[in-house]
A and B are shown apart, each in its own frame.
Chain A
Amino acid sequence: MSLRIVSAALLCLAVTGALAWAVLDRPLPEENLPERVAAAMPESGVDHPVTAVLLNFRSYDTLLEIAVLLLAVVVALALREAQPDRPEQMGLENPLLRAVMAWLLPLILIVAGFLLWAGSYQPGGAFQAGSVLAAAGVLLRLAGVTTAWLDNATLMRAGLALGLLTFLGVGLLVMIPGVPFLTYPLEYAGTLILLIELTLTLSIGLTLISLFRLTPPYADDPDEAREQQGKTP
């Protein structure tokens, strides 16, 4: 145990020291990427530079990143099926919470919509809006409100897939005139980015909710798992 801590401390010191030296000694770069971004902004279809980078200049990164999010859900789904769970008994039977929810929920949805719409000219966008949506979903669960469509597996999966499929579809469709993948035509760039962001928001929200919900519920515990293993060798 102590060996582990000593080696961790030594490694930590070595890495921190090396990093400190690297920070002290850094030469300034000659390439000026911010200038290139500024110069290309008129062709990006949006007014906010971060959105332009995320969904136009470096949209391929964003595409793969959505795949990473989806992967986490796939693994959660697979493990849930391999270790079947008892029905979830979440939700606090609290009338006050429900009453608060009733007026909080529309507010949250408005905030999410605003963040999404604002993303084209000021801070905000699909990820922020998606996580606000997810927060609404988590609150719904906590309040014990079971909405049928959240428990409908097919609909849920379709929602999860929608964002990535739209992104891929747009990326491939714009290639028809003979340009590379994800090259939006200038006059439609803003619309296409908004469409992608809209579907991404929904999918990201659903993904984050699923990640919250697909873990084993409190009702199951290790003792029980051990008993089950004892019964089925």
Chain B
Amino acid sequence: MSSALVFAWSGVLLFGLGLFGFIAHRHLLRRLLAFNIMGSGSFLVLIGLAQDGRGVDHVPHAMVITGIVVAVASTALALVVFRRWYRASGRTDLPEDT
């Protein structure tokens, strides 16, 4: 087992864990934490698998940097909407579907 593969495996576990948190939690901040953990998991899978048995590959490095920036933009947007929603409704979760 190469060290790249080790991180690919932890990426798999992180994605699964994050997915569970994303669905199970209702508090929107916790769901955002879960989203970010899922994101890190998929980045680790991307790099870990791409480099396993093949050595350093700079293309996925660039992809992950792009991915991290997209993730922080999404998180920031979500926090902006969340804070406005909290301010307008006083709730930290979403109302249930009808």
Contacts and interface: CB of A to CB of B under 8 A. Distances in A.
Contacts of B76: 72, 76, 211
Interface stretch (A4-12, A88-96, A139-147): A4-12
A15 B58 contact: no
Contact of A49 (B58, B63, B68): B58
B9 A214 contact: no
Interface size, A (range)? 35 or more
A54 B66 CA distance: 8
A220 B87 contact: yes
Q: Sorted from nearest, which 7 A-B pairs have the closest CB atoms?
A: A16-B16, A8-B23, A222-B90, A53-B62, A12-B20, A49-B58, A211-B76
B80 to A, nearest CB: 5
A215 B80 contact: yes
Contacts of A208: 72
B56 interface: yes
Contacts of B94: none
A157 B86 CA distance: 27
A41 to B, nearest CB: 10
Given A28-B53, A216-B84, A222-B89, 5 more contacts: A12-B20, A12-B23, A61-B63, A79-B80, A127-B69
A19 B15 contact: yes
Contacts of B55: 34
20 contacts: A8-B19, A12-B20, A12-B23, A19-B15, A34-B54, A37-B58, A37-B59, A49-B58, A53-B58, A58-B59, A58-B63, A61-B63, A68-B69, A72-B77, A127-B69, A211-B73, A211-B76, A211-B80, A215-B79, A225-B88
Nearest to A37: B58
A16 B80 CA distance: 31
A68 B70 CA distance: 7
B37 interface: no
Given A5-B24, A23-B9, A69-B69, A75 B62 contact: no
A33 B57 contact: yes
Interface string A54-66: 1001100110010
A221 B87 contact: yes
A53 B59 contact: yes
Interface in B22-59: 23-24, 45, 49, 53-59
Given A37-B59, A79-B84, A8 B66 contact: no
B54 A216 contact: no
A19 B17 CA distance: 13
Nearest to A9: B20
A5 B56 CA distance: 39
